[in-house]
Amino acid sequence: MSAVRRDLLPDSAWVDGSGSLWIGGCEVTALAAEYGTPLFVYDEEHLRARCREAVAAFPDGAAYATKAFLCGAMALLAHEEGMQLDVATGGELQVALRAGVPADQLIFHGNNKSAYELAMALDVGVRHIVVDNADELDRIEHLHHASGVVAKVLVRLNPAIEAHTHEYLQTGVADSKFGFAVEGGVAADAVRRVKGSAAFEFAGVHAHIGSQVYATSSFAKTIEVLGAFAGDTDASELSIGGGLGVAYVGDEQAPTITQWGEAVRDAAVAAGVNAKITAEPGRSIVASAAVTAYSVGVMKPIAGVRTYVAVDGGMSDNPRPVLYGSGYEAFLARATAAERDLAVRIVGKHCESGDVIVAEAYIPRETAVGDVLVTPVTGAYGHSMGSNYNMVVRPPVVFVRDGFARLVVRRETYDDLVARDLVIG
């Protein structure tokens, strides 16, 4: 196996004469030595460039889907680059607000928003609440009766479009917990109810068909359905959600955010839509901006079977291989351009056999215990879906740029692990 594909690495990645990987002007082995491993390393300029690309591709509004990766620094960065933020729980809302993002730049999502979360969103004055179901409409009306507050809403439609992606990542199909079905008039009834009630101000419609979608035609189809539906309402905004896929391994190719925007705009023109078109990318903003650096702790050859390489993280910092069977590449930070001629299985340190990071990996034969192993394209849904399984402490996050590293999330400590435990100590 040849060296890792350059475009799977962050924009600023550079390999020096000795084969060592640098990101944002910082050598990854040096970062690993300074901050320890596992470590998430994000290329700050790459993040900023993707945010700017999204704002240019969707000039009517681009919201960063914070579920992909959220911390104060990321919330602020996306805001500074002109993005709105999509938050899907009270927790995400709080992190964004505490980072200093103005409430009118926040879009509040969720398929089961509690009365508490809704009250909080209305109280701070979020830009839009994306209403998802009839019970949520009841809850907002109830809040309106109590306080007189009016919710500016997008109505989430289920357009029943089958995006070509993992079943768990698909949301637009008819059999889904998300949104009001277009089919059967459920969504039309919801819009009628919203428009007829003093509790709501109707701003438009929304659909999110799934995640890790490569086919821009699926988004074009979504615009057709949204446009046709919205034609009968006075929706001033159509949001096509997020979902643009990224390349993770080998020969995968994904459209750019710019191409995504063009495809969506072309579809809108063809469908005669003149409402504002907005989008909510998450993965495509952050995924390839980051790599995870691990240390190799164990190399265990099993004669006639395979070699297991155990690293110091695992399903607690990247649950995607376990959850979705997602593939990743791996390579040595100190020998980035080296031929990868040893077939191994890279596993974590958790107490279960399924704790696999890369099931069929190729790494250089020279790999040894103590080496820094890197998995690229780990910027989305790794840190954010991390856990404390086996009481493993969660890794820190550094942003690197122009030769400087900025620790934006510190490593969890053993004290953090017992901070909520009322019986210890």
Element (H or E) spanning 179, and its range?
Answer: none
Contact 313, 395 (CB under 8 A): yes
Name which of residues 166 to 205 contact ligand LLP (CB under 6 A): 169
Distance in Å, CB of 63 to ligand LLP, minimum: 8
By CB under 6 A, name the one of 62, 101, 244, 268 that touches ligand LLP. 244
**C-beta closer to ligand LLP: residue 26 or 207:** 207
Contact 386, 319 (CB under 8 A): yes
**C-beta closer to ligand LLP: residue 178 or 331:** 178
By CB under 6 A, name the one of 179, 242, 313, 321 that touches ligand LLP. 242
Residues 201, 152: Cα–Cα separation, whole Å:
5
Does position 225 interact with ligand LLP (CB under 6 A)? The reply is: no
Residues 61, 214: Cα–Cα separation, whole Å:
21
Binding span for ligand LLP by CB under 6 A among 90-98, 186-194, 249-257, 282-290: 282-290
Binding span for ligand LLP by CB under 6 A among 60-68, 251-259, 343-351, 406-414: 60-68
Does position 68 interact with ligand LLP (CB under 6 A)? The reply is: yes
How many chain residues bind ligand LLP (CB under 6 A)? Answer: 21
By CB under 6 A, name the one of 65, 161, 203, 230 that touches ligand LLP. 65
Name which of residues 120 to 159 contact ligand LLP (CB under 6 A): none
Work out the angle at residue 124's Cα, subtended by the Cα atoms of residues 68 and 77, and round it to the nearest 5 degrees: 35
Distance in Å, CB of 78 to ligand LLP, minimum: 13
Q: Which one-letter DSSP state was computed for residue 112? A: S
* Residues with Cβ within 8 Å of residue 422, at least 6 apart in sequence: none
DSSP characters over 11-35: TT-EE-TTS-EEETTEEHHHHHHHH
* Residues with Cβ within 8 Å of residue 267, at least 6 apart in sequence: 219, 220, 221, 223, 224
Per-residue x/- track, 382-411, ligand LLP (CB under 6 A) = ---x--------------------------
Distance in Å, CB of 304 to ligand LLP, minimum: 35
Distance in Å, CB of 418 to ligand LLP, minimum: 28
Helices 134-147, 186-196: inter-axial angle, 10-degree rounding: 10
CA-wise closest residue to 83 among 108, 110, 109, 65:
65
By CB under 6 A, name the one of 43, 92, 280, 329 that touches ligand LLP. 280
**E runs forming strands in 149-228:** 151-158, 180-181, 200-206
Distance in Å, CB of 215 to ligand LLP, minimum: 13
**C-beta closer to ligand LLP: residue 157 or 333:** 157
Name which of residues 92 to 111 contact ligand LLP (CB under 6 A): 109
Number of other CB atoms surrounding residue 347 within 10 Å? 24
**C-beta closer to ligand LLP: residue 169 or 374:** 169
By CB under 6 A, name the one of 66, 212, 288, 318 that touches ligand LLP. 212
By CB under 6 A, name the one of 128, 208, 350, 394 that touches ligand LLP. 208
345 strand-pairing partners? 308
**C-beta closer to ligand LLP: residue 204 or 364:** 204
Residues 22, 29: Cα–Cα separation, whole Å:
8
Residues 323, 118: Cα–Cα separation, whole Å:
30
Binding span for ligand LLP by CB under 6 A among 62-70, 115-123, 224-232, 406-414: 62-70
Residue 367 corresponds to which tokens in the numbers above?
């790999």
Does position 255 interact with ligand LLP (CB under 6 A)? The reply is: no
Element (H or E) spanning 362, and its range?
Answer: strand 356-363
**C-beta closer to ligand LLP: residue 320 or 349:** 320
- Strand 290-302 and strand 372-376: pairing? antiparallel
Name which of residues 285 to 344 contact ligand LLP (CB under 6 A): 320
By CB under 6 A, name the one of 24, 227, 243, 314 that touches ligand LLP. 243
Does position 284 interact with ligand LLP (CB under 6 A)? The reply is: yes
Does position 216 interact with ligand LLP (CB under 6 A)? The reply is: no
25 burial class (0-12, 13-18, 19+ CB within 10 angstroms)?
Answer: middle
**C-beta closer to ligand LLP: residue 221 or 320:** 320
Number of other CB atoms surrounding residue 412 within 10 Å? 17
Q: Annotated catalytic, 351?
A: yes
- Per CB under 6 A, residues contacting ligand LLP are 65, 67-68, 86, 109, 169, 208, 211-212, 241-244, 280-284, 320, 381, 385
Q: Please identify every residue annotated as catalytic.
A: 351
